[in-house]
Amino acid sequence: MLSCPDRKGIVAEVSGLLARQGANVTAAAQFSDPALRHFFVRYEVETAAGEASAESLERGLAEGLSDLLSQPDAQLTVRRADHRPRVALLASKASHCLVEVLQRWRTGELPCDIVCVVANHPHIEEFAGWFKVPFHHVPFPPGDKAASFDRVEALLKEYAIDVTVLARFMQIIPDAFAEAHVGRMINIHHSFLPSFIGARPYEQAHARGVKLVGATCHYVTPELDEGPIIDQEVVRISHRDTPADLRRKGRICEREALARGLRLHLEDRVFVHGNRTVVFD
């Protein structure tokens, strides 16, 4: 994955560099943002046995593209296809998003290692147990949430977590915590943002009388509910649906948007640029 200011000939340069190192491109996607004059490219390559490793490939590209990469906002990432990020799931009371991610992981749909589940409700332990994932109960008492966040942060360090998933975590993330995980912490919001920001979105949706509800999978940033959106899902509703029905129907959207967004992230298909994402699906 390469993201950098756009200029002439980048494609030829990069693909030439790859070819010279014996890397054959098997899939490619690229996007030039005409407004931002920024360039995004994602290659899947294969190398013959014994040839370039991910590290040497990255080194080769970094040298060949040193002028590009020295610019602000430029970023190069090279990963092995069998790279498996270490993932932590944070939950609260509701289990539907948590179980969805765990079950898809178990059936092999999510290329990662889910190494721990953290929740402020102890009954979540049962679900973690189904999938034999270590569980940690961290209460979030109203008056002393800072200590709880410290405890979570310590757990994420201890488990050497690459990606943190807020599977309906329901706690407002402190700025410092959000900043420490920029681009690596994924949330599911229970509305089709930017509609119904804030608390109790299904009640808000019912009061407004909308005919669709939805969910949004996005990166966490210090600005609450304002992070870059990875994926969204909606479902049609009617006047017959009570707020409880909206919650039930919305759960389908939440599960689907989160699982899909997480998969895109784990497969290195998502670039963040400013407050928007480039998603090569």
Residues annotated as catalytic (active site), given as ranges: 225
Q: Counting contacts by CB under 8 A, is residue 240 touching its own copies?
A: yes
C-alpha 189 chain-centroid distance:
13
- Please say whether the dihedral angle defined by the alpha carbons of residues 82, 87, 93 and 97, taken in this order, is positive or negative: negative
Q: Counting contacts by CB under 8 A, is residue 210 touching its own copies?
A: yes
Q: Counting contacts by CB under 8 A, is residue 248 touching its own copies?
A: yes
Which single residue is written with the structure tokens 């969204």? Answer: 232
Q: Which of 75, 148, 171, 195 binds its own copies (CB under 8 A)?
A: 195
CA distance 198 to 201: 7
Which single residue is written with the structure tokens 């010279």? Answer: 20
* Residue 217 bridge partners (DSSP): 188, 231
Cβ distance to its own copies smaller for residue 100 or 152: 100
Q: Which of 59, 62, 109, 159 binds its own copies (CB under 8 A)?
A: 109
C-alpha distance from residue 187 to each of 70, 162, 219 (Å): 31, 15, 6
Q: Counting contacts by CB under 8 A, is residue 268 touching its own copies?
A: no
Tokens of 58: 């990255």
Query: Shortest Cβ distance from residue 74 to its own copies (Å)?
Result: 18
Q: Counting contacts by CB under 8 A, is residue 26 touching its own copies?
A: yes
Q: Which of 1, 91, 99, 173 binds its own copies (CB under 8 A)?
A: 99
Sole window of 50-58, 59-67, 80-88, 210-218 interacting with its own copies (rule: CB under 8 A): 210-218
Q: Counting contacts by CB under 8 A, is residue 18 touching its own copies?
A: yes
CB 191 within 8 A of CB 254: no
Kindly state the number of chain residues that form the binding site for its own copies, as judged by CB under 8 A.
59
Closest alpha carbon to 1 in 69, 53, 84, 51: 69
Cβ distance to its own copies smaller for residue 7 or 80: 7
Q: Which of 3, 92, 95, 221 binds its own copies (CB under 8 A)?
A: 95
Which single residue is written with the structure tokens 């610019």? Answer: 71
Cβ distance to its own copies smaller for residue 42 or 181: 42
Tokens of 104: 């898809």
Closest alpha carbon to 10 in 76, 80, 81, 78: 76
Q: Which residues bind its own copies (CB under 8 A)?
A: 8-13, 15-16, 18-19, 24-35, 95-96, 99, 103, 107, 109, 130, 192-196, 207-212, 214, 228-232, 234, 238-240, 242, 248, 252, 256, 275-279
